[in-house]
Amino acid sequence: MAKAKSEQTLMTEGPIRAQIIRFALPLFLGNLFQQLYNTVDSLIVGNFLGSSALAAVSSSGNLIFFVVGFFSGMAMGGSVLIARYLGAGENENVEAAVHTSAALGLIFSAVMTVSGIALAPSVLRMMNTPPDVLPESITYFRVYFCGSVGFVMYNFLVGILQAAGDSRHPLYYLITSSVLNVVLDLIFVTQLHMGVGGAALATGISQLTSSYLALRRLHHLGGPLHLSFRKIRLNGKMVRGVLRLGLPSGLQNSIIAFSNVLIQSYINSFGSAAVAGIGSYQKLEGFGFLPVTSFAMALPAFISQNLGAGKPDRARAGARFGIACATVVAALTGIGFAVFGPQLIALFDRSPDVICYGTGRARVVGPFFALVAYTHMMAATLRGAQRAVSSMVIMLMSWCVVRILVLAITSLFIHDIAVTYWVYPLTWALSSIAFTIYYRKEKIFG
């Protein structure tokens, strides 16, 4: 079969705003469908299996992101590296980086499957998962990680496409897998009565499907992005490059998730209604954060390509535009959560206690939503400029160390779930200040 033409969209020429929006829009739609994975699980589980099952799915969420976030960050390292080589026109390095990324994805998939299945019970118990929720949480977690190869490989393969400016095909794959996820959820949970394990299985099959589609696309491309199965191997130089750029991003994601896991442990002590209510809000927040995520995914590729092409002024202008757009959209979204919190939480569970907990979280953090958007966009800017270590340090101190200290100290005197609400705006503000100072002092783009 003839190879398809290599689709490389170099973002080193043309109108900056239009290019970023054209790249970010498919990412937004793709993230929207990806968010449906867990949200559909929660909607179907909450409405057909009850609050206890919903709490089981919700209690697994932060723990899943803890491990998934690490490999997503690693995949971002490969994407930034490939984008830099594309911008510089170094096709041999592009080819080596593509095959190294695929090899790393396979290795990480195997590690993730074994560790996820083996460690599920111990970790969930360490998180103080409510006893009435624990068995179903373990089931959901283990079944989910049986499909590790799907979500790990998808991140690495799509990172290659996005490095070349292709956000359109990943959108198609996510639409396909999300529709499949909805259908399988309904079949497994409502017809075959497979419980939370069925919801996790539906997600796993859907993620495997999207991963296969991305693999097929790269295999049939021509040019330096062509993925040859025979050439999938580790290249020492590229491994070092991916680790240098991806490891800080992966650790950053995991550090954030780790602090959230600790906070989830505190939330778990308030019972299944608190777990279900706050978990439902987090699903809503995931949707509200999609525009920010889209710009944060678009900026590293844009910045890296332009720095590779020797155009720092263009990279700076793109960063400023992306930061401004994401921050404004997040501010409006957060206000919407604060105002319409009860109605939105009720979509997942109509229990008064569940709605109360979810609304409480929404009304505290919603007004400060612009700060978390600003932080993520600054972190994305530093990743594109290959300053991922600095971004990691700022996030480590603000979102992990400070959060844990505040929660540990206040819990000695106050046993109030509102503490878990307010710790987020506090640390968002700290990270925003730190990123602003660093950006101005270091003069990232010269």
pLDDT at 37 (0 to 100):
62
Whole-angstrom distance, CA of residue 131 vs CA of residue 296: 38
Phi and psi angles of residue 312, each rounded to the nearest 5 degrees, phi first: -65, -35
Q: Is 49 helix (H, G, I), strand (E, B) or coil?
A: coil
What number is the average pLDDT over the span 105-117?
A: 89
Q: How far apart are CA 300 and CA 167, in angstroms?
A: 13
- Closest by alpha carbon to 422, among 376, 366, 339? 366
443 pLDDT tier (thresholds 50, 70, 90)? confident
Contacts of residue 404, Cβ cutoff 8 Å, sequence gap at least 6: 259, 262
Q: Which residue would you say has higher pLDDT here, 127 or 272?
A: 272
The answer to whether residue 29 scores a pLDDT higher than 70 is yes
- Tell me whether residue 299 is in a domain: yes
Residue 182 belongs to some domain of the structure: yes
For residues 410 and 188, give the distance between their C-alpha atoms in angstroms, rounded to a whole number: 43
The verdict on residue 7 lying in a domain is no
pLDDT on residue 8: 56
Flag whether 6 is in a domain: no
Whether the per-residue pLDDT at 391 is higher than 60: the answer is: yes
Highest mean pLDDT among 175-184, 304-313, 363-372: 363-372
pLDDT number for residue 2: 44
pLDDT score, position 13: 83
Give me the pLDDT at residue 433, please: 96
Using the predicted structure, report yes or no on whether residue 248 has a pLDDT greater than 50: yes
Q: Is 414's pLDDT higher than 80?
A: yes
Q: What is the pLDDT of residues 217-231, one digit of tens each?
A: 999 988 899 999 999
Whether pLDDT at 1 is above 50: no
pLDDT at 50: 76
pLDDT band at 61 (very low <50, low <70, confident <90, very high): low
Backbone angles phi, psi at 221, to 5 degrees: -75, 150
* Average pLDDT value over all residues in the chain: 87
* Tokens found for residue 407: 């929660």
pLDDT, residue 60, reads 65
Burial of 4 (0-12, 13-18, 19+ CB in 10 A): middle
Burial class (CB in 10 A: 0-12, 13-18, 19+), 13: exposed
Summarize the confidence of residues 391-416 as an average pLDDT: 88
* Residue 4, in any domain of the structure: no
Say what the pLDDT of residue 327 is: 96
Q: What is the total count of domains within the chain?
A: 1
d(CA 101, CA 157): 8
Residue 186 lies in a domain: yes
Least confident of 2-6, 241-245, 327-331, 363-367: 2-6
Q: Which one of 208-222, 284-298, 345-359 scores highest in mean pLDDT?
A: 208-222
Q: Percent of the chain having pLDDT more than 90?
A: 37
**Both tokens assigned to 3:** 């190879």
Q: Pick from 429, 439, 404, 431: which is nearest to 419 by CA? A: 404
For residue 4, what pLDDT band results from cuts at 50, 70 and 90? low
Question: Can you read off the two tokens belonging to residue 52?
Answer: 């206890």
Examine residue 3 and state whether it is found in any structural domain, yes or no: no
Rounded to an integer, the average pLDDT of 354-362 is: 92
* Cα–Cα dist 434/430, whole Å: 6
In this prediction, residues 354-367 reach a mean pLDDT of: 93
Is 216's pLDDT higher than 50?
Answer: yes
Give the model's pLDDT for residue 41: 67
CB-neighbour burial class of residue 72 (10 A; exposed 0-12, middle 13-18, buried 19+): buried
| Cα–Cα distance for residue pair 27/25, rounded to 1 Å | 5
**Which domain covers residue 368, as residue numbers?**
16-442
Whether residue 5 is predicted with pLDDT greater than 70 in this model: the reply is no
What is the residue type of 47? N
The predicted structure's pLDDT at residue 117:
86
Q: pLDDT at position 148, please?
A: 87
Residue 5 included in any domain: no
